[in-house]
Chains A and B, each alone.
Chain A
Amino acid sequence: MTLSLHIPRLETPRLILRGPEPADFDSYAAFLTEPKRSWGFGTEEDRPKAWRWFACNIGHWALHGYGYFTVEVKETGQPCGIAGIWNPEGWPEPEVGYVVFDGYEGRGIAFEAATRAREWAYTELGFTTLTSNIVPGNARSVALAERMGAWYERSYRNVQMGEEMLYRHPGPEALGIGSDADGSPEAYA
């Protein structure tokens, strides 16, 4: 019996989005356990809890067929953030999520990675709409969502994060990226 875990490797001009590897864990743990950085994403109280999150993301891929990619700087091969589609139990609907690790802010990395992940979800997964859930006060995340063309739709109570603002992304048609009928990612690279 097999567990199908297809995590594609996506590219942008500067970045690679790929499946998380065990060697990435230290950079994930550093981010997840630092409240100043991860408060808007979901802080884990210690390294063991961060590990469970890391393993949960792999299981999320196995259960849903999508999840968070590790974002890597093409030039150096270093993990610089997390981006992908997240939809654990209790979420209102699938969301585009994005994070940059310490030292990688201000270079447009999150925008580049999140835009690629969204395009993949529309072309390869066949999603017709996506959201981003943002904790009130996370101005950087709001700015990025708006830069991606998303708009505030409503506020709701998230099972994990409490009060959140739901931003709605433009759909594939509005972005001019229809579903990829022949399964060829090259057409959109």
Chain B
Amino acid sequence: MTDIVQIPRLETERLILRAPQAEEFEAYRALVASDRAVHMFQLDRPAAWKEFAAEMGHWPLFGYGPWHVERREDGALVGAISLLSHDHYPETELGWHLYDGHEGQGYAFEAATAARAWAFGERGLPSLVSYIDPANTRSIALAERLGATLDREARGEDATDLVYRHSRPAERVAQ
């Protein structure tokens, strides 16, 4: 097993995407235990830790995984962007969540755009989708703002998910 895994640091106008830190588990735990995670999952503390660890484990296994997103201006932790490929995911998923108080400022859009460019570019992933609960209207709006399109043929993480497909940058220019 590789000893040192590079987690790329991505910078945008207002944000920095970087490796999650072990001590940031509390922010993650608070999110997944709250009503705000109703469209993701609701996990108790031990289950949240396992999920946090399983996401971290993606970096050594796949060379991609979760980033934590901090605001350049003051270093505040505003959210997370993740590229996940759990065993039952038909394709790699681009996911996002914002920590409490940081919604409505376009942070998820800005960070997801940077993560997607890296995934298709430097990392060379062949495809990327977002699995979204049909009731999660905010997430659907973001997927659409990102230019992703609903793919009714694709299989989701589970049967009820909507699958939003992200196109590669060249394809977006061509459209």
Chain A positions within 8 Å of B, measured between CB atoms, are: 1-7, 18-22, 25, 47-48, 50-60, 62-63, 88-90, 159-160
Would A58 and B61 count as touching, CB distance under 8 A? yes
Would B18 and A62 count as touching, CB distance under 8 A? no
How many angstroms from the CA of A55 to the CA of B19 in the assembled complex?
16
Chain B positions within 8 Å of A, measured between CB atoms, are: 1-9, 18-19, 22, 25, 44-46, 48-61, 86-88
How many angstroms from the CA of A57 to the CA of B54 in the assembled complex?
7
Closest to A19 in B: B1
Given known A56-B53, A59-B52, A89-B45, contact A1–B8 (CB-CB < 8 A): yes
How many angstroms from the CA of A4 to the CA of B53 in the assembled complex?
14
Would A20 and B1 count as touching, CB distance under 8 A? yes
Closest to A2 in B: B4
How many angstroms from the CA of A90 to the CA of B29 in the assembled complex?
13
Q: A52 — which chain B residues lie within 8 A by C-beta?
A: 50-51, 54, 86-87
Q: A54 — which chain B residues lie within 8 A by C-beta?
A: 57
Distance in Å: Cβ of A84 to nearest Cβ of chain B: 13
Q: B9 — which chain A residues lie within 8 A by C-beta?
A: 1
Q: A51 — which chain B residues lie within 8 A by C-beta?
A: 86-88
Q: B58 — which chain A residues lie within 8 A by C-beta?
A: 55
Would A88 and B50 count as touching, CB distance under 8 A? yes
How many angstroms from the CA of A58 to the CA of B8 in the assembled complex?
19
Q: A47 — which chain B residues lie within 8 A by C-beta?
A: 87-88
How many angstroms from the CA of A6 to the CA of B3 in the assembled complex?
5
